Amino acid sequence: MEKIAVYNTLAGRTEPFTPVKEGEVFMYCCGPTVYNYIHIGNARAFVFFDFVRRYLQRNGYHVRFIQNITDVEDKIIKKAADEGVFWEDIARRFTSAFQEDMAALGVSPADFSPKATESVPAMIALIGTLEEKGYVYKTSDGVYFRVRRFKDYGKLSKKSLDDLKAGSRISVNEEKEDPFDFALWKFSKPDEPSWESPWGKGRPGWHIECSAMSRSISGRTLDIHAGGEDLVFPHHENEIAQSEAALEEPLARVWMHNAYVNLNGAKMSKSLGNDITVRALLKDHPPQVLRLFLFSAHYRKLLDFNAEALEESHAKYERFSNYFHSFKDEKEIPDSPLVQAWDLRVRRFLNDDFNTSGAIGVFFEAVSACYKDKENAPLCGAVKAWLRSWDEIFFILPNEDTATSGSFEALMEILLELRQKARSRKDYETADLIRDRLQDLGIILEDTPKGARYKKCR
RNA sequence: GGCAACGUAGCCAAGUGGUAAGGCAGUGGUCUGCAAAACCACUAUUCACCGGUUCGAAUCCGGUCGUUGCCUCCA
């Protein structure tokens, strides 16, 4: 098994990855609150952590991937009220939308997708344990966790409660013992979704679901707990507090957090209203282009989404597409020392905290090397096969079959033949007309020494 | 105000102690009926700035400036 180094937010540094149980990984990635379509920033987390999962699998780990669906929450309730529909309808609609968008982006489904609404008993049980241990108190609007009682509070985000207090913008709730105490259970108002509990009718607080669900599925300390960097505080900090207070063992060994996607230099966020949905982007761009964009920088580095960046990702995709059009697949894939050397470099990049942009740089080097040594069919065949195998986890290359119908291909043959006849009698007007009209349809003609070739654009 | 991260060519970006990957854009050339694709050549004596450690620093340390994020729902 390869030695993989992972940056652990909890440790504050990159460490060798060692799962609790050799060869087995429980990975939990915070999922969406389903009240809206996901945007390209949300997609970064989901695409990237799915990549991590697949890279671990490729390295022989048995990975069980858990991703929750938060299907009851204030924003869902608000959206339903605004639209005059049941909150369940909102949750259902955007859960489906989320799954569709993920599939379209090439993200494989989680092994476990627990829904908050289906896990309420586990949450109530966890709150009960916390109550027995004295971490819980009740106010007029809910049940709260007493952060002062958990001595490690702040160990993930490297904040102390006193520092937090000094710079706090948090609104004061007179009933809370400490401003950072957070709701485990929220009492419901008359028209809101609610469940019976020992403390009164209500719904779970946001943080408790991840603690309860991850535990009920894994039954032990998670190997990796992941999410966007904005979740470090307070969400993950609170998860740690409640889980570890109750269980008296670590919630997760490694905490991974991805950096943001900004939009033209400013934070992209649903609540700020400056987000671009994956759904809208996929109308004009193949998923590979979006993935090339998301993988273009290391995951802990801020990415800026803008027109130029998107154009550049397109250009990269074109480069790979042209490459795959230019070389035939070889039936026999010979061993190539060059390919082995490139592969080693790719693995080194990925083993060093999943450096995708470095790895993709190596792919481009291999592509260039093939063009420079065009007649070397064994090399080019080996590179193609090698790239294809990496694409099982990257999904940035053009699809293998463009799924053209037989009659389409036959028609193209006729057009190419007619054009070739025009060219041989130097009737370039006709030849160019055919090429231009096809281009309008998104079919690019290229004349090569071996005859004309065509490719479909988008 | 408190806590972090980052600052590498026109742009994106890798590189974290041994002398600057890769991509995009650009310029000139080759190929072509013209294109396209591709290839060749050129494009950072230098890594925000200042100081220090070292035989040696983009990489380590200190300071300055700048950008961004978190501190409230957020991937």
Residue A301 CA and nucleotide B48 C1' are separated, in Å, by: 18
| CATH number of the domain within which A129 lies | 3.40.50.620
A2 or A119, greater pLDDT? A119
Average pLDDT for A40-63: 95
pLDDT (0 to 100) of residue A147: 92
Cα–Cα distance for residue pair A8/A149, rounded to 1 Å: 25
A87-128 per-position pLDDT tens digit: 999 999 999 999 999 999 999 999 999 999 999 999 999 999
Q: Which domain holds residue A434?
A: 406-456
A410 falls in which pLDDT band (50, 70, 90)?
confident
Indicate whether A371 and A321 sit together in one domain.
yes
- Nucleotide nearest A293, from its CA to each C1': B12
**What is the CB neighbour count within 10 angstroms for residue A48?**
23
Query: pLDDT band at A215, cuts 50/70/90?
Result: very high
Exposed, middle or buried by CB within 10 Å (0-12, 13-18, 19+), for A229?
A: middle
C-alpha–C-alpha distance, residues A191 and A321, integer Å:
54
**Number of C-beta neighbours around residue A327 at 10 A:** 17
User: Same domain, yes or no, for A68 and A153?
Assistant: yes
Which nucleotide C1' is nearest A226 CA?
B75
Query: Does residue A254 sit in the same domain as residue A341?
Result: no
The answer on A138 and A108 residing in a single domain is: yes
pLDDT for A401? 58
Q: Looking at residue A455, what is its pLDDT?
A: 83
Find the radius of gyration of the CA atoms of chain A: 26
The pLDDT of residue A168 is 56
Residues A106 and A163 in one domain: yes
Verify that A184 and A127 share a domain, yes or no.
Answer: yes
Task: Classify residue A387: in a domain, yes or no.
Answer: yes
Distance A320 CA to B39 C1' (A): 16
Percent of chain A surpassing pLDDT 70: 95
Peptide bond into A190 cis (omega under 30): no
Residues A261 and A325 in one domain: no
Domain boundary among A344, A362, A394: A394
- How far apart CA A342 and CA A327 sit, in angstroms, is 19
Q: Which of these ranges, A156-165, A296-305, A360-369, has the smallest mean pLDDT?
A: A156-165
Task: Write out which nucleotides of chain B lie closer than 7 A to a protein Cβ.
Answer: 1-6, 11-16, 21-25, 31-40, 67-75
CA of A314 to C1' of B23 (A): 11
CA distance A283 to A8: 36
Residue A433 maps to a domain: yes
Q: Are residues A120 and A182 in the same domain?
A: yes
Distance CA A44, CA A39 (A): 9
Using the C1' atom of nucleotide B1, identify the protein residue whose alpha carbon is closest. A167
Question: Among the residues of A105-236, which ranges form H helices?
Answer: 120-132, 161-166, 206-218
Instruction: Choose among A107, A73, A112: nearest CA to A90.
Output: A73
Do A152 and A54 fall within a single domain?
Answer: yes
Asked if residue A258 and residue A114 are part of one domain, the reply reads yes
Query: Which residues are A256's β-sheet partners?
Result: A226
ipTM of the complex: 0.93
Q: What pLDDT, on the 0 to 100 scale, is given for residue A169?
A: 56
Provide the number of structural domains found in chain A.
3
Could you tell me if residue A306 is inside a domain? no
What pLDDT was estimated at residue A407? Answer: 82
Say which nucleotide is closest to residue A263, CA to C1' distance: B68
Q: What is the pLDDT of residue A358?
A: 94
* Distance measured from the CA of protein residue A255 to the C1' of nucleotide B46, in angstroms: 37
Residues A108 and A22 in one domain: yes
As a rounded value in angstroms, the CA-to-C1' distance for A315 and B42 is 22
What does the mean pLDDT of chain A come to? 90
Are residues A121 and A166 located together in one domain of the fold?
yes
pLDDT of residue A456: 77
